[in-house]
Amino acid sequence: MTRLFASLLLFWCVATSAFAQQDYELSTSLGLDEVGINRVLCMQNGNTMLFHFEVTKPIRVFVFDSTHKRIASNTQSCRELDLFATNTSVFKGIYEIAGEAVLFIEQQNASRNSLIMLRFNSRTGKLVEERIVGKSKSLAKPSQFFVMRYKGEEGYKILYSQEVMQFKQCRLHVSYYNDKHEIYRDVPLDFDRDKYDFMSVVGAESAPEGVCVALSLSTLLMNGTRANAISVTNPVYQHNLRVFYIAEDSSKPLQRNIDLSTDIIPYYTHFTTNRFAHSINLLMESFREGFLRYGIDMRPTADYASLFFAFDPANLDGTYNWVTNKQGNAEVLARTDTNDAFRGLPLKMFTNSHGLTTVVSESYDRNMSTESAARMRVHESYLGNLCVTRLNDEGNELWGTVLPKSQYYKSYRQFYHPADLAKRWQQQAMFNDMPQQVYERQFVSANSYAVGGDLYVIYNDCNENIREGLDKSLDTMFVSAMSNACVYRIDKKNNVTKKYLYGDPLPREYKSSFIEGADFDDKRRTYASVIRYKRGEFVTLRLAWARFN
């Protein structure tokens, strides 16, 4: 009897321990087909909102309460937002403002480029207001819009950019909105546009200390000339990076022009503030596509490099450093027999309260095979390893590691860069590809979040790869339907662990996350995402929550 009681007690303790380690929860089926795109928003009241978009169809909104029970679902038509123009519409962000879910979408409508704001009730999911907050004068004088907001901010900011390149006319200004969606400050960003032939916005971000806007400015130095019957000289441009910084308590922007070179081309930037060193950090990525000649073949390649700037917010004086991922490459060489160095595009940058900056990068490559009659107009992109690099105040590398990953993505219209897939940039159209490719792109690339002193990196991978260590070569994930979401954790002591995000799968069970539309609840340390749940041949879409302890 004693043995039986002890066995039952042991079984109860093991079961209780296993349940306590269950840090995820799945909803029932959402009743959605495997089409369209999904966006998740975690609200401060504990609710989770899901927005589902399809071409030419009304928006579907689902609301789940703090216990993850569905409390509302709506199908919402729109008046200002043209649902038949969603193939040219661009997401500009989904935010919680004054307890409401606020969605910003840019689209071309009535021969104008417009920024449309939609406000939704966070308890019922119903549309509260629909308003055009920005509109270009005409398509000949287009305007771009960049919505900026950090978590916890009461209002938001919008950068309005109107560029008329043929006349070298440019108007830039940042409008500040309160939580009632009223403008209370407008700051113009003035510079001598006549000096440059081309201008583009490569950065627009907000932090509690201020707003940072970065421009790429280019001047034509030499036109392309035909030197002889064989070789052609390409045009040569001098590139500049112009940085504007507006302190939170100021209406006067500081600006600095950085003369780069003909080879360094600003592609995009990341911006953070360093409270410990009283500085602002700007990571600039330079990207240039090209081709290498292999005999009679021309193979696509890319040349890119990262520059880390540390500016004094009082006058924008500062220093710069090249981020070369030396530490991560050194670790790869130590644990594997490869001689290939990591080269990748930064996806995200964090700076903690101690001044330590962490950069997460992703390697990118295009199909290296020669196009043939059997493979015409197929654009293949490979998203490879992730590199995590930690920098000091001045951008010097302190530590780094490379996390193995290999993903394949195919399109019939375009190549994709990690920056596009991670939507760092507010420039990717909602439905800019064929329906199946638009749906599939949501499963590739990775999400990263800084939680306390830990870093979490989430992506989808094959079961065989998830079970392998960092020193093993990986198979490429060709089909997301046969993958599971996994998570890397890098703690304060730089220890790296990896596991399934939604628990160990059963035989023929797959839970892959919609990476592109996920959200993170900082207050509850919870990652929320739509997942494709597959068990055998049975497939449903569900909402999933995973808690990081």
Taking residues 446-464, report their average pLDDT: 94
> Of 467, 455, 475, which is closest to residue 548 (Cα–Cα)?
455
DSSP line for 363-390? EEEE--SPP-GGGTT-EEEEEEEEEEEE
C-alpha to C-alpha distance for 240 and 283, rounded to whole angstroms: 15
pLDDT, position 462: 94
Count other C-beta atoms under 10 Å from residue 217's C-beta: 26
Report pLDDT digits (tens) over 465-496.
998 877 777 889 999 999 999 999 999 899 99
Q: What are the residues whose beta carbons fall under 8 Å from the beta carbon of 496, sequence distance 6 or more?
A: 401, 403, 470, 488, 489, 490
pLDDT, position 369: 55
Residue pair 279/313 in contact (Cβ under 8 Å)? The answer is yes
pLDDT, position 233: 58
Residue pair 153/44 in contact (Cβ under 8 Å)? The answer is no
Q: Which of 82-86, 181-185, 227-231, 423-427 has the highest mean pLDDT?
A: 181-185
pLDDT, position 368: 56
pLDDT, position 225: 55
Does an H or E element contain 18, and which?
helix 2-20
Taking residues 4-12, report their average pLDDT: 42
Taking residues 405-412, report their average pLDDT: 91
pLDDT, position 482: 94
The band of 1, judged by pLDDT with boundaries at 50, 70 and 90, is very low
Taking residues 431-457, report their average pLDDT: 93
Kindly state whether residue 121 falls inside one of the protein's structural domains. no
> Of 175, 217, 174, 214, which is closest to residue 193 (Cα–Cα)?
217
Question: In this model, does residue 224 exceed pLDDT 70?
Answer: no
Token pair, residue 352, equals 């903690």
pTM of the predicted model as reported, rounded to 2 decimal places: 0.90
Residue pair 355/274 in contact (Cβ under 8 Å)? The answer is yes
C-alpha to C-alpha distance for 257 and 309, rounded to whole angstroms: 13
When the pLDDT of each residue in the chain is averaged and rounded to a whole number, the result is: 88
Question: In this model, does residue 505 exceed pLDDT 90?
Answer: yes
Q: Which stretch of 84-88, 138-142, 356-360 has the lowest confidence by average pLDDT?
A: 138-142
Kindly state whether residue 176 falls inside one of the protein's structural domains. no
Kindly state whether residue 261 falls inside one of the protein's structural domains. no
**Structure-model confidence comparison of residues 139 and 90, the more confident one:** 90
The band of 53, judged by pLDDT with boundaries at 50, 70 and 90, is very high
Largest CA distance in the chain: 98
Token pair, residue 420, equals 């596009």
Report pLDDT digits (tens) over 290-343.
777 766 666 677 788 899 999 999 999 999 999 999 999 888 888 776 667 888
Torsion of CA 263, 172, 193, 168, to 10 degrees: 100
Residue pair 38/442 in contact (Cβ under 8 Å)? The answer is yes
C-alpha to C-alpha distance for 365 and 384, rounded to whole angstroms: 8
pLDDT, position 186: 97
> Of 49, 25, 24, 29, which is closest to residue 38 (Cα–Cα)?
49
pLDDT, position 371: 56
Which residues, in sequence order, are bridge partners of residue 399? 390
- Percent of the residues in the chain that have a pLDDT greater than 90, as a whole number: 69
Kindly state whether residue 67 falls inside one of the protein's structural domains. no
Kindly state whether residue 267 falls inside one of the protein's structural domains. no
Kindly state whether residue 360 falls inside one of the protein's structural domains. yes
Handedness of CA 332, 333, 336, 337 (dihedral sign): positive
Kindly state whether residue 238 falls inside one of the protein's structural domains. no
Token pair, residue 278, equals 């009283």
Domain encompassing residue 370: 327-549
Token pair, residue 216, equals 């790429």
Domain count, the chain: 1
The band of 20, judged by pLDDT with boundaries at 50, 70 and 90, is very low
pLDDT, position 14: 35
pLDDT, position 441: 94
Question: In this model, does residue 70 exceed pLDDT 90?
Answer: yes
Question: In this model, does residue 376 exceed pLDDT 70?
Answer: no
Kindly state whether residue 38 falls inside one of the protein's structural domains. no
Report pLDDT digits (tens) over 23-32.
999 999 999 9
Report pLDDT digits (tens) over 167-208.
788 999 999 999 999 999 999 999 999 999 999 999 999 999
Question: In this model, does residue 269 exceed pLDDT 70?
Answer: yes
pLDDT, position 30: 97
Amino acid, single-letter form, for residue 204: A
Taking residues 107-113, report their average pLDDT: 81
